[in-house]
């Protein structure tokens, strides 16, 4: 997947916005981060449940990794060029769902 596609998908989610923080692009909903992408766009990290993190790291360690600082909280690191578009879309959407207020998620689900 290309970094521009990651960015476009993340920003297509309701109330998502991009803000540079710590030299990286961070994607937020209501000022809460659900996705971070390195300045070069080669790596990204998404918010995830610990079970999902463990499964992805075991499934494909060449694509998924334990990111510094946020890995301890369940986040999953991703080598952007190696991940399939559909899987990345699912990971971003789930990270957004974990972060967005319930009302926004409910509206999103009703419109989908």
With H, G, I as helix, E, B as strand and everything else as coil, classify residue 78: strand
Instruction: Please count the residues of the chain.
Output: 112
Closest CA to 39 of 8, 11, 3: 3
Q: What is the pLDDT along the chain (112 residues), one digit of tens a residue?
A: 899 999 999 999 999 999 999 889 999 999 999 999 999 999 999 999 999 999 999 999 999 999 999 999 999 999 999 999 999 999 999 999 999 999 999 999 999 7
Q: Residue 35: what are its φ and ψ, rounded to 5°? A: -150, 140
Contacts with 63 (C-beta within 8 Å, 6 or more apart), sequence order? 56, 78, 79, 82, 83
- Output the CA angle 17-23-26, nearest 5 degrees: 20
- All domains of the chain in start order, with CATH: 3-103 (3.90.1150.30)
The reported pLDDT for the residue numbered 112 is 78
36 close to 24: Cβ distance less than 8 angstroms:
yes
């Amino acid at each position: 997947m290309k970094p521009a596609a990651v960015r476009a998908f993340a920003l297509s989610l309701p109330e998502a916005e991009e803000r540079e923080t710590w030299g990286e692009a961070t994607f937020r909903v209501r000022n809460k981060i659900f996705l971070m992408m390195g300045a070069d766009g080669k790596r990204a990290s998404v918010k995830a449940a610990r079970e999902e993190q463990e499964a992805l790291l075991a499934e494909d360690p060449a694509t998924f990794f334990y990111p510094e600082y946020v890995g301890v909280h369940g986040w999953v690191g991703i080598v952007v060029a190696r991940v399939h578009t559909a899987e990345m879309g699912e990971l971003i959407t789930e990270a957004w769902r974990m972060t967005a207020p319930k009302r926004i998620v409910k509206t999103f689900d009703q419109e989908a």
